[in-house]
Amino acid sequence: MRVVVTGGAGFLGSHLSALLRGRGDQVICVDNFSTGRRENLDALLGDPGFTLIEADVTEGLEIPGRVDAVAHLASPASPPDYHRLPLETLAVGSRGTEYGLRLAARNQARFVLASTSEVYGDPVVHPQREDYWGNVNPVGPRSVYDEAKRYAEAVTMAYHRTYDLDVGIVRIFNTYGPRMRPQDGRVVTSFITQALVGDPLTIYGDGEQTRSFCYVDDLVAGIVAMIDGDVTGPVNLGNPVEWTVGRLASEILRITESSSTIERYPLPTDDPTRRRPDITLARRLLGWEPVVPVEEGLRRTVEWFRSRPEELLAAAPSLAGAQPGGVLLS
């Protein structure tokens, strides 16, 4: 196939692009590098089956030639990014999504939206099934991301119902792995960075809030299954094994052999207290479920971060003047 991946230089987008190219698809990556990184595409640049277009999808999406599928992943996705870029986040969820839908409609192509578990907000139903409508604060500090994705789902379904467009929606739960940025503000990256540079691990709240962590290789395999299929969804993609934040901190300290301490701070506004997907639909409709245990995925991620000591130290202000090459970073 010839697949357009918006946000293709981001964490998930770059892994998806690599998986598609690895099986022989042509990939057109569109990214404005507001949060994506060119180095994520180093293995693909120069490949004749891969095309990089530096552009903002909120300003239009014109791709010459045939297009068989559009995977819309473009969006800031971590709290520091969407707080820093609130209007851009809303724009890519609205205008950016509609431009992707128009591209798919012109080509009679399949459109797959990367939505998020954040549409469930701070859920009162646990685990979260796709028929749960969520508990979202539409004017809270997280709303720019939550509501952008909720609108993206709405406009995707409107195109499906109005134009009979072939669409699929996946709701992605917490995902981690190589190519994440140490300063992106997500709990896995924050804990790994802090442990490796010797800073205290910062836990917000009592540490009993839960998340479900899916390794990136598993997650993008689920997206590809959605691209290849005819399921409309929405379909949850995530790890059904629930971890407390406190357990995650302990496991990262064990893997890194770090002597970092733990510091606790108040829970941020509207931060979900429990998060775990019901993946019954993904298993039944896509034949998908994660296979990489969290402990193994964390080990791989820690080793990737260890190989980038300068980037870690730059992300840790308390050690900005230190030299890399210590025990934890070696």
Neighbours of 53 (CB within 10 A): 16
Distance between CA 316 and CA 322 in Å, rounded? 10
Report whether 52 contacts 41 (CB < 8 A): yes
| Amino acid at residue number 34 | S
Q: How far apart are CA 315 and CA 157, in angstroms?
A: 40
Cis amide linkage into residue 234, ω under 30° from 0: yes
The span from the CA of 89 to the CA of 82, in Å, is 6
Active-site entry in 99, 145, 159, 215: 145
Is 145 labeled as catalytic in the residue annotation?
A: yes
Positive or negative torsion for Cα 296, 120, 16, 6: negative
Q: Show Cβ contacts of residue 93 under 8 Å, excluding neighbours closer than 6 positions.
A: 75, 147, 148, 149, 151, 152
Catalytic residue set:
145
